Amino acid sequence: MGFIEEIKRRRTFAIISHPDAGKTTLTEKLLLFGGAIHVAGAVKSNKIKKTATSDFMEIEKQRGISVATSVMGFEYNGCKVNILDTPGHQDFAEDTFRTLTAVDSVIIVIDAAKGVEMQTRKLMEVCRMRSTPVMVFVNKLDRPSHDPFDLLDEIEKELSIKVRPLSWPIGNGDLFKGVYNIYEHNLYLFQPSRQTVQEGVAIADIADPSLDEQIGKSQAATLRDELDLINGVYPEFDKEQYLKGELAPVFFGSALNNFGVRELLHCFLQIAPSPQPSQTETRTVCPEEEKFSGFVFKIHANMDPNHRNRIAFVKVCSGKFERNKTYHHVQLNKDMKFSSPTAFMADKKSIIDEAYPGDIVGIPDSGNFKISDSLSEGEQLVFKGIPSFSPELFRYIENDDPMKSKQLAKGIDQLMDEGVAQLFVNQFNGRKIIGTVGALQFEVIQYRLLHEYNAACRYEPIALYKACWIESDDAAQLDDFKKRKQQYMAKDKWGRDVFLAESGYMLQMAQEGFKNIRFHFTSEF
């Protein structure tokens, strides 16, 4: 197969949801369809079980397991599908945000009884920032659900995106009979099945009287009425709008019972984008370019304390990646060769000789990589779109063992490279501040510093509301601001200026008092 065909047949995406909506279950069903696994329950995803939230050792163990399932690749109908797993736990939201920088589209799973939940809203904001094409799967129709029209309205309103149903549920709860495929104009009445993928009864035409026999006169009449209504209310599906991230096709089903998953997958493979161009600070990189380039969007530490190896996940952006070929590590200005790059197929990891745009390559790393680093064939490419977000929680981090200050500094440095949390150094008193999205990370950092770096740390409270990256074209005002607020000025890992606002009020006052300064809540602007 030619290089261009290899690119065109790739679909790299993430499934995102509020915890418990059914992301893991849907992932597993897609893998079953793809033949990548053969029994349900085979996927140990990044999911961190609720019961484990207070036990971070258990979490780390689960995170260790999840290396293999961070990317799940499979072949289906001539396509190479790459699913990037994201941690469901909201304390690891930053991981999820970064994973979204490496995908070309997203499937959002929504619980039909709960509607749009908080985490879904947040993740959608990230998709919107990047205009990522989004598909929605409304799950758990086998349970009593909200009315599908109400759900569509809610999605449209809460996620600020236009919607167009491309499948439609026949009943819900005990009366759930299956879904009508609006996209392909056919109907499969599935038998509920948790283990295998079964073919259902195919009905090609909605007017077919056998529909009345199969699902009963009343449900058949309702289905016909509702389909009429849909076609009256919603304009024809417009693929271009979907590809621009303006319109979300919506599917209904029950992942657990294999209802509606096939409709979703078939349509997804047809309409979802193949690998898209990537932005760098200097130019746009197209996947079809001959020369290889890629960036690190995730680093996963190996939990084995005897081998402090990590895996850097590189998204191939252009050209063909080849094993044992020399590439340029842009940020280190160093040429490197990789003898054992890995690819991920379902729950297996294997050494690969080559990879194409859209693929994710796992590179064993002993500390050379940090998040957002890039590899190229020599060009100084710095990929954009891998921002840090202002953390929600802050604490001072202090050395608890004066004999081990070097180890502590190294440990903090490497954990920050992995993107476990963000470090800010207060320019006034030199104290280090760790900022995280969730409380769990503080425990994870403390635990890992001790076990992997033999360094002890303790935390001290700090009252902070937000860390904002600041910039201005008015150098005098910026200088004045930094002088007046020197107690609250910090530097991030890259040496950029960050204003630490103690409260919403303080931030507002700063914004009002210094009109020429721009305050940003993400590190990329």
Contact residues: ligand G4P, CB under 6 A? 17, 19-25, 47, 88, 139-140, 142-143, 254-257
Residue 257 Cβ, how far from ligand G4P at the closest point, in Å? 6
- CA–CA separation, 117 vs 95, rounded Å? 19
Of 19 and 364, which CB lies nearer to ligand G4P in the complex structure? 19
Q: Which residue has the tokens 């064939």?
A: 377
Closer to ligand G4P by Cβ: residue 15 or 412: 15
Task: State which residue, 88 or 294, has the beta carbon closest to ligand G4P.
Answer: 88
Q: Write down the least CB distance from residue 192 to ligand G4P, Å.
A: 10
- What values do phi and psi take at 188, rounded to 5? -115, 125
Q: Closest by alpha carbon to 398, among 443, 431, 438?
A: 431
- As a whole number of angstroms, the distance between CA 516 and CA 1 comes to 55
Q: Distance between CA 355 and CA 373 in Å, rounded?
A: 18
Which CB atom, from 62 or from 407, has the smaller least distance to ligand G4P? 62
Size of the chain in residues: 525
Q: How far apart are CA 394 and CA 422, in angstroms?
A: 9
Burial, 291: exposed, middle or buried (Cβ in 10 Å; 0-12, 13-18, 19+)? middle
**Min separation Cβ 131 and ligand G4P, Å:** 24
The span from the CA of 452 to the CA of 103, in Å, is: 31
* Residue with smaller CB distance to ligand G4P, 21 or 211: 21
Asked if 440 and 434 count as a contact pair (C-beta separation under 8 A), the reply is: no
Shortest CB 461 distance to ligand G4P, Å: 32
Q: Decide: 138 and 231 in contact? Cβ < 8 Å.
A: no
Nearer to ligand G4P, 141 or 312 (CB): 141
Closest contact distance (angstroms) between CB of 66 and ligand G4P is 12
Sheet-wide strand order for 178-181: 167-170, 178-181, 186-189, 201-203
Strand partners, 187: 180, 203
Closest distance to ligand G4P from the beta carbon of 20 (Å) = 4
Of 212 and 347, nearer to ligand G4P (C-beta) is 347
- Give the residue with the Cβ less far from ligand G4P, 140 or 395: 140
Q: How far is the CB of 210 from ligand G4P (least distance, A)?
A: 26
> Judging by DSSP bridges, how do beta strands 278-279 and 348-351 pair with one another?
unpaired
Q: Strand 162-165 relative to strand 247-252: parallel, antiparallel, unpaired?
A: parallel
Bridge partners (DSSP) of residue 189 are 201
Q: Which two tokens stand for residue 148?
A: 């599908």
Name the residue nearer to ligand G4P (CB basis): 88 or 362: 88
Nearest 5°: phi and psi at 85?
A: -80, 150
Task: Give me the phi and psi of 104, to 5 degrees please.
Answer: -100, -15
Distance of closest approach, residue 141 Cβ to ligand G4P, in angstroms:
7
Closest separation in Å from C-beta 342 to ligand G4P: 24
Give the strand pairing for 162-165 and 134-139: unpaired
Q: Minimum CB separation from ligand G4P for residue 180, in Å?
A: 17
- The Cα-based distances of 191 to 178, 256, 296, 508 in angstroms read 9, 12, 43, 57
Given the complex with ligand G4P, which of 21 and 355 has the nearer CB atom? 21
Smallest gap from Cβ 48 to ligand G4P, in A, equals: 9
Are the CB atoms for 91 and 383 separated by under 8 Å?
A: no
Residue with smaller CB distance to ligand G4P, 141 or 345: 141
